Chain A
Amino acid sequence: MTFLIQQTLIYAVPLMIVALAGVFAERSGIINLALEGIMIFGAFTGVLFVNLTQKAGIFAAAKAADNWVALQGFELLAMLVAAVLGAVFSLLLSFASVNLRADQTIGGTALNLMAPALVLFLIRILANQNTLQMAEGDAASWFMIKKTTLGFDRTADLGFFGNTFLHKVYLATYVCILLFVVLSIILYKTRFGLRLRSCGENPQAADSLGINVYKMRYAGTTISGALAGMGGFVYALTTANCAATGDVAGFGFLALAVMIFGNWKPLNIAGAALLFGLFKCVAASYASIDINGDGVYLLAQIGVSPHFYRMLPYLITLIVLAFTSKKSRAPKAEGIPYDKGQR
C-alpha cells in the first residue's frame, strides 16, 4: 500500500502541476497545447543544470559530508532553473498568439515539435547518446529523502504515515503540492487572479475596465510555462532517475485531459490527477504492486497483457472525456486572439 501511494503521488503530482499550468494559460484565454513540449524542455534544462553543476563540483563537498539540506537546496535550484527556462520557452507561444494573433493550436504544435528536436540535437552533441544523465551518482543517492537523512535509525519504524510520506520521497513532490495550493488561492482570491480569469471569459469587457488583456495573457502563459517546465523536471527527477531523453510519453497531453476532466477548477483537477496518477502508476509498475501486503502480486498474476496496462491511461482518458465533455465548461474566450478593434 505504501508503495502504491508513493508511486501514485510520483505520477500524480507532475500531472497536477502541469494541469494547473494549463489552467493558468487557458483561463487567460490562450490554449497551451505546448505543455508537452515545455515539459520536455524543462526536463532537459533541469537535468543539464544538475549535470553541469556536478561537473563543476559545486555541491561535491556537500554530498561528501552528507549535508542533505544543501542537496535539497540544489534540487530546488534545479527546479527553479527548469521553471525559468520553461517560462522563457513559452514566450515563443505567447509572442505568436498574443502579438501576432497566430493560430494557437498550430503554434503549440510547433513548440511540441521544436522541444524534442532541439533537446535531442543538443543531448546528442553533449552526451554522444540519446539520454542526458546526471554526471555522477543517481537521483536516489543525491536527492531522495530517506529515514537516515532525517536522522532516524535505519531500523526505526515510523508508522504508516511516516513510512509513506517521509521515507524514500522527494522534496520536489511536496514543493509542487504547496505551489499548487498557493497558486490556486492566487487564481481565485486575489485581484490578479480575477483579472486573469476575466481575460479568458470576456476580454473586451475586461479591457473596457482598464485591464491590459495582452499583459494578462502574457502573465498567464508565462506562469503556465514556468509550471510546465518545473513539472517536466520533477517528472524526470522522480520517474526517470533525473535523465532527459527528449520525451515525456504524452504526459503533457494527459495533463491537458486532466485539466478538461477537472473542468478548469483546481480542486477537481487535484482529484482527477490522483486518479490518472493511479492508472499511470499501474501501467508503469503493475508487476510490483502488492495491494494488501500479503505477497500476492495480483495485477501481474491475473494474466492481462502488460500492453493493456500501458494502454489503460490513454483509454481511460478517452472514455472519461466522453462522459464528461457534455458538462465541461471551457473559458469562453480561449483560443480566440484578442483584437481591440473587434466588438
Chain B
Amino acid sequence: MKQKLSSLYGRDGTKAVLASLISILIGLAVGSVIILIVGLANPALGLSSAWDGIRLVFGGLVSTGRDAAGSLTFGFNPTNMGNMLFRATPLILTGLSVAVAFKTGLFNIGAPGQYLMGTAATLMIALGIPSETVPAWLIWALAFVGGILAGALWGCLPGLVKAFLNINEVLACIMTNWIAANLVTWMFDGSQFRNVVENTKSGYIYKTSFNGVETAKLGLNKLFPNSQVNGGIVIAVVIAVLVYILMSKTTLGYQLKACGSNRHAARYAGINDKRNIVLSMAIAGGLSGAAAALYYLSGNTEFFWSTYQSLPAIGFNGIPVALLAANNPIAVIFTGCFMSMLDIVGLQLTNLTAYNEYITDVIIATIVYLSAFSLLIRMLLDGRKKRKKAMVAQAGGTNTGAGPSSGAQEGGEQA
C-alpha cells in the first residue's frame, strides 16, 4: 500500500497537481492577508468585516447570503454552482487557447483580441440573419462557426508575423488586442445591432435571444435553478477532450509540440515550423473565438460595444487557467471551473461586504506569479520525495524516480 502511494506521488502528473494546489493556497492566503491589512488599517471596516471577507474568499461558492442577524450563512447554493459552470465555459476555452499556444512555445496573450473578434462575428451573424426565414438552430450553428473563424483569423496575424518576420509574438498579440478593441467598437458604432429598445441599456448590443437564438439549456437549468447555466459547458468540455486528442494522439499535435520544444530541431527533422506556428496560433484564436461565441450565444449576456478603452478580462484569465493546468487540456476543465469560482467569490464579496471583486484579480495574479517559478515548487516537492526515497531505500524497498518535469516552463518564448 505504501509502495503504491509513493509511486503515485512520484508521477509527474501528481506533482503538477500538487504544485498547482500549493499555488492556489498561497494565492488565497495572499488575498486574505491583503483583506486583513486593509480591514485593520481602515477603521470603517475593522476586524470582523475582514473576517467576513476572508471567509468569503475561501467559501464564496457555498455562501447563501446573510441571515436576519447579519452574519454570513453557508450552505449548498445551486444558483452559485450553475453560474460557476456558466462562467467557466468561456474560461475553459480561452484557457485551452493559451495552453495550445504554450505547447507550441508561443505565449498567446492575444486571447482578448481574438475573443473580441469572435464576439463581433458571433453577434453580427446571430442578430443579422432574420429568424423568420432561417431556423434558429441553424443561425446558432452559423454564429458559433463564424465566431471560431473570426477568432482563428485574428490569431493567425501574430502567428504570421512571428513565423515570417520574427516579431516577438507577445508584442504582436498586444498590438492586435488593441487594434481589435478599436475595430470592434468601430464596427458596432452606428450599426443596427445596438440595443435601442431598452433605453436603460445604452451602449449595449442586443442579446441574441432578441432574435430567438440561444444555446439549449439541456435540462441543466432544472439541476441548478435560477442560474445562467446552459449546454455551453458541455460543448466546452467536449472541445477540451478534442484538443487533448489532437495534442497527444495525432501527428499534427506531435509536430506542434515538437516546434514548442525546439523549433530548430523540429525543422531539422523535416517539420515545417513556420506552418505549425501559424496553425497553432489559428487554433488558439479559434478556441478564444469559440469562448466568445458560447458566452454571447447563451442569450442572457449583453455586449458593451464601446470597448476601445478596455480589453475583456476573460481573455487574460485564460493565462492563469492554462498555467495552473500545466497546459493539460483535461486539467483546463477543472482550473477553468476554479477560476470561475473565484469570479463568484468576487461577486459575493462585492454584494455582501465592503470589499470588492478586484481582490480576486489579485489572487489570480499571485497564482500566475507563482506559476512562473512552478519549477522551483516542483523541485522542492522533489526534494521531499528524495528524502522519502532515502528512507524507503533504508527500509529495503525500491522506487523508480520520475524524470524532470516540464509544463508551464515550456512556454514563454524570449523576446
Are A and B part of the same complex?
yes
0 or 1 for each of A232-273: is its CB under 8 Å from B? (1 = yes): 000000000000000101100100110010000000000000
Given contacts A104-B412, A106-B368, 16 further A-B contacts (CB under 8 A): A92-B369, A102-B373, A109-B109, A113-B361, A118-B365, A120-B356, A122-B38, A247-B310, A249-B178, A257-B171, A308-B182, A311-B183, A311-B186, A318-B161, A318-B176, A326-B165
Which of chain A's residues have a CB closer than 8 A to the CB of B165? 321-322, 325-326
Determine the chain B residues whose CB is within 8 A of the CB of A182 once the complex forms: none
Complex Cα distance, B358 from A117, in Å, reads 5
Hey, which chain B residues are within 8 Å of A122, CB to CB? 38
In the complex, residue of chain A having the shortest beta-carbon distance to the beta carbon of B369: A110
> Once the chains bind, are B373 and A334 in contact (CB under 8 Å)?
no
Number of interface residues of A (CB under 8 A): 50
A103–B281 Cα gap in the complex (Å)?
A: 21
Q: How far is the CA of A116 from the CA of B316 in the complex (A)?
A: 13
Are B176 and A308 in touch, CB under 8 angstroms?
no
Separation of A336 and B409 alpha carbons in the complex (Å): 12
Contact with B along A308-320 (1 / 0, CB 8 A): 1011001101100
Which residues of chain A have C-beta atoms less than 8 A from B359's C-beta? 117, 121
Q: Please, what's the 1-or-0 string for B316-350, where 1 marks a CB less than 8 Å from any CB in chain A?
A: 10011001000000000000000000000000000
Report chain A residues within 8 Å CB of B414: 31, 104-105, 334-336
Complex: how many Å from CA A326 to CA B408?
A: 29
Question: At the interface, yes or no: B376 with Cβ under 8 Å from chain A?
Answer: yes
Known: A125-B42, A253-B171, A322-B165. A106 touches B323 (CB 8 A): yes
Chain B residues, Cβ within 8 Å of A249: 178, 309
- Residue pairs across A and B with CB atoms within 8 Å: the count is 167
A125 touches B369 (CB 8 A): no
B174 at interface by CB-CB < 8 Å: yes
Check A55 for interface membership: any CB of B closer than 8 A. Answer: no
Cβ of B186 and Cβ of A117 under 8 Å apart?
A: no
Contacting pair A102 B376 (CB below 8 A): yes
Given contacts A106-B412, A314-B175, A318-B176, contact A260 B168 (CB under 8 A): yes
In the complex, the answer to whether A307 meets B364 with C-beta atoms within 8 Å is no
Q: Interface digits, A322-343 against B, CB 8 Å rule (1 contact, 0 not)?
A: 1001100010001110000000
Interface string of A112-130 (1 = CB under 8 A from B): 0110111011101100000
Choose from A107, A125, A308, A326 the contact partner of B354 (Cβ within 8 Å).
A125
Instruction: Please give me the residue from chain B that is nearest to A305 by CB atom.
Output: B186
The CA-CA distance from A305 to B411 in the complex, in Å, is 39
Measured in the bound complex, the distance between the Cα atoms of B228 and A221 in whole Å is 46
Binding site for A on B (CB under 8 A): 34, 38, 42, 45, 107, 109, 161, 165-168, 170-172, 174-179, 182-183, 185-186, 189, 308-310, 316, 319-320, 323, 354-356, 358-359, 361-362, 364-366, 368-369, 371-373, 375-376, 408-409, 411-415
Interface of A is mostly: helix
Please state if A114 and B365 are interface contacts (CB–CB under 8 Å): yes
Chain A residues with CB under 8 Å of B365's CB are 110-111, 113-114, 117-118
Q: How far is the CB of B381 from chain A (nearest CB, A)?
A: 15
A100 within 8 A of B: yes
B361 touches A116 (CB 8 A): yes
Q: Report the minimum CB–CB distance from A342 to chain B (whole Å).
A: 15
Considering the complex, give the chain B residue whose CB is closest to the CB of A125.
Answer: B38
Contact of B415 among A31, A92, A305 (CB under 8 A): A31
Question: What is the distance, in angstroms, from B162's C-beta to the closest C-beta of chain A?
Answer: 10
User: Judging by beta carbons under 8 Å apart, are A311 and B354 in contact?
Assistant: no
Give the chain B neighbours of A33 by CB distance below 8 A: 170, 415
Q: Are B161 and A322 in contact (CB under 8 A)?
A: yes
* In the bound complex, CA of A317 to CA of B174 (Å): 11
Task: Give the residue of A106, A120, A314, A325 whose beta carbon is less than 8 angstroms from that of B166.
Answer: A325
In the assembled complex, 23 residue pairs joining A and B whose CB atoms fall closer than 8 Å, in A order, are A33-B170, A102-B373, A103-B408, A104-B414, A105-B415, A106-B408, A109-B107, A111-B369, A113-B364, A117-B358, A121-B356, A256-B171, A307-B185, A307-B308, A311-B186, A314-B178, A315-B179, A317-B175, A318-B161, A321-B165, A325-B165, A334-B415, A335-B414
